[in-house]
Chain A
Amino acid sequence: MTIDEIVGEIRDGMTIGIGGWGSRRKPMALVRALLRSPVRDLTLVTYGGPDVGLLCRAGKVRKVVYSFVSLDSIPLEPHFRAARQAGEVTTTELDEGMFLLGLQAAAWRVPFLPTRAGLGTDVLRLGADIRTVKSPYDDGEELVAMPALELDVALVHMNRGDRGGTGQYLGIDPYFDDLYCLAAKRRFLSVEKIVDTDDFLKEGPAQSLQINRLMVDGVAETPGGAHFTSCLPDYDRDEAFQREYAATAKSEDAWDAFRAKYLDVSEADYQRAVKP
């Protein structure tokens, strides 16, 4: 598939899970394709990075389900901050571990998973409508019942993939991308490079095959598709570009110029524009 064909499957109001973590291995080419599309009113479910900031700034987002939104080397995501502080998006605020259990519950098709995380905090008070459950066993312990985070669509980015939908990560951290896929009705993978299935084990060990084709409905080859987030070992985060992006939160003119140069263009033109 192409990234635009993938985004063509996304409808207004859908709940979209986005893989990666902060400003690391985000499916940015798919996010840019979403920015070019007419889709709106999205609910984003993600360990958030610039994916959230860009989609909020472009007015695509109704709700964000998150435990943080960060650019890592720049701790606070400026466009997400602006959208929150202007009251433009609603939120479900979660603990990082609760978020993991929400994806896991959806992946395992159970309504919730119990955890101690969240007890005693305002996570249980804030719009999230998260309830507790009493253990049916002799301990009788009261625990948080983290509800399943069911997704309409999952978007993830991997280092390598084949046409059948197997995905391989070659960095040091798998993040939670397989869980996003298992939690979603429709699952799409972008990859730095499509390889022959025979060649996977030349690229990395069998345990680097994090995503299997049971979990994936479509694959797009998008070299540089995680830029400007990191996609190690293929490339590190583009810190200079990230600073340029973050600075666009300071003025309308800077945002307009950034959008015209990098977002209102095709992915191929974007990649040409960011290559030194």
Chain B
Amino acid sequence: MSTDTTRTGPATRAEICAVACAEAWRGDGEILANPIGTIPTIGGRLAKATFEPLLVMTDGEAMLVENILPLGVDDPPKVVSGWNPYRKMFDVVFNGPRHILMGATQLDRFGNQNIAYIGPADRPTAQLLGFRGTPGNTINNRTSYWIPKHSPKVFVEHVDVVSGVGYDRAAELGETAARFHRLPRVVSNLGVFDFETPDHTMRLVSTHPGVTVDDVVAATGFELATPSSVETTRLPTDEELRLIREEIDPLGLGEREVPS
């Protein structure tokens, strides 16, 4: 397989998204960073390679690895520091020190998430992944979301099925049951969001370069909190670009998820 290590020029949208994903783990320290999907994985490995070196990460299978693995490359050298088969992953999930960044087929303004199916329970119009580990993730671990195609079909008024717990449902559970529930960040191909409003509804934090607030609002199917000052998502540093292009994503797989 040939590797493209000669990518030059300004940061692409995919690279900006990867950095925005990396920022989700800033300040997390020694926890299991668990990205799912291409751009989140680039982001997680970038965070560990730069500002959060204590993050614990897996090879996507059963090993904890300390070195930065290149995405999509078969059998790269691994510095293995732990064994984490599926069985032991639930020890981490239930024990707590984990921040997952994963996808959502639907997401509402309170952060309720659906990856299970669309339509009625007994005869869905589209069977999707199932609940997977999302109920356990969201009630036990910090959970952020990555949406590669921001649209009103994803950011919906009401999700068909709640697989991941949102802030309104967490509030109904009460402080004790919801004490580990936290949704720090949502990153899409258009911007960065959080839930730091008085009623924990989704708020626009920054738009990516070239994206306007109106673009984001038009692509969102619910009323989005939009503060008067919305920043532009930060650009990757030169060193971050080098790490992404040469070490983390030498094949340019991020570009497939978010084309320029």
Contacts and interface: CB of A to CB of B under 8 A. Distances in A.
Given A172-B62, A173-B61, A75 B87 contact: no
B117 A121 contact: no
A80 interface: yes
A119 B177 contact: yes
B41 to A, nearest CB: 15
A173 B131 contact: no
Contact of A85 (B124, B134, B139): B124
A70 to B, nearest CB: 7
A98 B87 contact: no
B211 interface: no
B218 interface: no
Interface in A80-119: 80-81, 84-87, 90-91, 93-98, 100, 115-119
A269 interface: no
Interface residues of B, number: 45
B140 interface: yes
A67 B132 contact: yes
B131 A121 contact: yes
A141 B178 CA distance: 11
A174 B87 contact: yes
B93 A85 contact: no
Contact of B136 (A85, A118, A122, A176): A118
A69 interface: yes
B178 A120 contact: yes
Contacts of B93: 97, 117
A115 B172 contact: no
Interface stretch (B65-73, B156-164, B195-203): B156-164
A121 B164 contact: yes
A76 interface: yes
B165 interface: yes
A86 B121 contact: no
A131 B104 CA distance: 26
B34 to A, nearest CB: 13
B180 interface: yes
A21 B178 contact: no
Contacts of B129: 68, 70, 75-76
Given A97-B90, A174-B87, A119 B131 contact: no
A73 to B, nearest CB: 12
A21 B85 CA distance: 11
Given A117-B136, A120-B162, A176 B86 contact: yes
Contacts of A139: 176
B76 interface: no
A143 B139 CA distance: 11
B173 A120 contact: yes
21 contacts: A68-B129, A70-B129, A81-B127, A84-B123, A84-B127, A85-B123, A85-B124, A85-B125, A85-B126, A93-B131, A97-B136, A98-B136, A116-B139, A116-B180, A119-B173, A120-B162, A123-B131, A141-B176, A141-B177, A172-B63, A176-B86
- Shortest 3 CB-CB distances between A and B: which pairs? A117-B136, A87-B123, A95-B135
